[in-house]
Amino acid sequence: DIQMTQSPSSLSASVGDRVTITCQASQDIHNYLNWYQQKPGKAPKLLIYDASNLETGVPSRFSGSGSGTDFTFTISSLQPEDFATYYCQQFDNVPLFTFGPGTKVDIK
């Protein structure tokens, strides 16, 4: 099975900060990676697909990059509504999907 790790597991940041989260796969997954945002008590929301493509309607302050085993998710200027948990999800070995353990972004 492909294992996904994320770092950090949590971070504290202020409004306006640049935030970077990394996701690492245990083997080459090409660009087969998505990023989701989840707020407490809510379902996850797709933000980035295929590692770097912004889902329709998602603000441009969100971005993703990477390929192979190492991926990065960035919020260029953190907004109050961005405090949430972020998950990466691989789909290299469809039909088995696995998510990373998540990164919680909270207010400093």
Partner 1 sequence: QVQLQESGPGLVEPSQTLSLTCTVSGGSISSGRYYWSWIRQPAGKGLEWIGRIYTSGSTNYHPSLKSRVTISVDMSKNQFSLKLSAVTAADTAVYFCARGPYNTFVSWGQGTLVTVSS
Total residues at the site for partner 1 (CB under 8 A)?
A: 23
Q: Is 81 helix (H, G, I), strand (E, B) or coil?
A: helix
16 binds partner 1 (CB under 8 A): no
Q: Which residues of 91-108 are buried (b: 16+ CB within 10 A; e: fewer)?
A: bbeeeeebebebbebeee
β-bridge mates for residue 46, sequence order? 36
> Which of 80, 95 has the CB closer to partner 1?
95
100 binds partner 1 (CB under 8 A): yes
69 binds partner 1 (CB under 8 A): no
Q: Least Å distance between CB 31 and partner 1? A: 11
Residue span binding partner 1 (CB under 8 A) among the ranges 17-25, 36-44, 59-67, 76-84: 36-44
Residue with tokens 């972004």: 105
40 binds partner 1 (CB under 8 A): no
Rounded CA separation 83/7 (Å): 16
92: left (phi over 0), alpha (psi -120 to 50) or beta: alpha
Please identify which residue in 14, 80, 95, 108 interacts with partner 1, judged by CB under 8 A: 95
Positions in the binding site for partner 1 (CB under 8 A): 1, 32, 34, 36, 42-46, 49, 55, 87, 89, 91, 94-102
